[in-house]
Copies of this chain bind each other. A is one copy, B any other.
Amino acid sequence: MSRAFELARAVRGTTSPNPAVGAVIARGSRIVGEGATQPPGGAHAEAMALRQAGDLAHGATMYVTLEPCDHYGRTPPCTEAIIESGITRVVVAVGDPDLRVSGRGLEQLREAGIEVSLGDGAAEGAAHYEAYVHHRRTGRPFVTAKFAASLDGRIASTSGDSRWISGPQTLRWAHQNRPLFDAMLVGVETIIVDNPQLTARPEGWSGPVPQPLRVILDSRGRTPLESRVLEHTSSSPTLIATTSAASAEWSEALASRRVNVARLPADENGRVSLASLLDLLAREHGVVSLLVEGGGEVLGSFFDQRLINKVTAVVAPMIIGGDAQTAVRGRGAERMRDVLRLTHMSVERLGADLLVTGYPGNPEHELDVRIRPAGQADVDAVDQLLASQIIERPLKCEELLTEARAGDVVIWLATSHGSRTDVQGKAQPFEDVLGVAAVKFATDRASIPCLAVRPDAPASVAERLRDSCEASASGRDAQWLTLTTSTTIGLSEEQYRSSGYRYYRRDADGSDVLIKRLHA
């Protein structure tokens, strides 16, 4: 299967809108046929491998990176060819997310008596097909943001000089990376300031380099006619996305140079609607994967609109400071809870630079959050949590720890669990504390003297902690549960009221005490 992926990787960037597939036919340990997806209209990987294997396919096993197709497109279905060849076993890494295929290819093979197994190489397949899967599910390109910044987030010196933030190995990597994308996008400011060619010039690439479609975001039609990005448009096509604000003369001059000018709807700021652009790229240009290279305003707009599916950031070992330009601008995140967090982050070195890769993740959906009582073993961790100011206003909680040890207080922890890949590539399990709450028992009633969650915790964490406090108070037969709004962080007074808490009295320090009847 790893050989099949090798074959598939070698054709990345040449197959869209079809997926890059690799197929290997083996008899025991002997490979009798290999193939990879040909450019659109050409043969599929399975057909290529079968052609090479000929009669040797009879009784052999096929390893294929993606579920074989079962429908007539520009080529006949691969399932038919496999069945006819006499292959007796098919090993598939990833099921096809394409609704025309999904599961039916495997079914068809099984019905013909072929032994089918799915999932060998699934992890490798998930990475290899991330763009394809996204595209098939959403109808839009998979968008990767790329930028290179200093350790303090700058992309140029204060005078605007940007050569070179990243080192030679990173520049080489960038040219190796570009041909893997169907299209790459920059803003017109980048064209005006840097006048780049926007072509892929990788080292040691065998055969002609697949050139991504060059896309320029240019709402008002300011791309200079002498820009280098407008040259060589036959080998490296260029599309300028603009709005009705661009002049007719300008777009005619471009059309005469075989540059594709797309007039798209404008958003409320008069800028090209990015959603319309993504739809257009997928629909009319077969773009499955798009690389957004900048500048800062363009990246900011994509991030603001949550249109980025992957981030590749190069961190260069330098400090620039001052008011030098930053890598991502746009509107930005107003509150910490709006910040775009990355998951599945990995890091590698490119010479002296770091390449950091991650995927925007919604922590609410991604996190495995659990609520559990804090045990004796957690006292230090809770202590530390409070002392480290991860939780705001912790002071009122401190004394509770002593009482918790005596049994008059139960402390609940909200924790998130998972595993992270360390720099050696090994998975390391972790438990992070997201929040803490305490219930204190008195003769006839209980109180929540403290409930606090980290500001970056998912919204449901505070509610789940409150639920657990209520449950433990009920368990001790308390009739009423009280709390002071000033010592619970994460739920508003309104949220308490809407779940049955009522105004009770004003506390000594002026904050409101709420009460809820637990047993009717």
Contact = CB atoms under 8 A, between A and B. Distances in A.
Interface of A: 147, 149-154, 157-159, 161-164, 167-169, 171-172, 175, 196, 201, 203-204, 299-300, 303-304, 311, 313, 315, 317-324, 326-336, 338-343, 345, 347-349, 351-352, 354, 356, 358, 360, 380-381, 384-385, 387-390, 392, 420, 422-424, 430, 432-433, 454-456
A487 B174 CA distance: 26
Contact of A319 (B158, B303, B321, B422): B303
A380 B204 contact: yes
Contact of A328 (B152, B328, B351, B455): B152
Given A331-B321, A332-B158, A345 B352 contact: yes
Given A335-B161, A348-B423, A387-B201, A319 B311 contact: yes
A354 B422 CA distance: 10
A332 B323 contact: yes
Contact of A349 (B161, B204, B317, B423): B423
B159 A334 contact: yes
Nearest to A423: B423
B326 A384 contact: no
Contacts of A168: 385, 388, 390, 432-433
Given A168-B388, A356-B151, A424-B424, A345 B330 contact: no
A388 B201 CA distance: 7
Contacts of A335: 157, 159, 161
Contacts of A424: 423-424
B157 A313 contact: no
A427 to B, nearest CB: 12
A392 B326 CA distance: 23
Given A157-B338, A342-B317, A455 B163 contact: yes
Contact of A321 (B300, B349, B420): B300
Given A151-B358, A320-B328, A320-B333, 12 more contacts: A147-B152, A149-B153, A150-B153, A154-B326, A157-B339, A164-B455, A169-B432, A201-B388, A317-B342, A321-B330, A347-B347, A351-B430
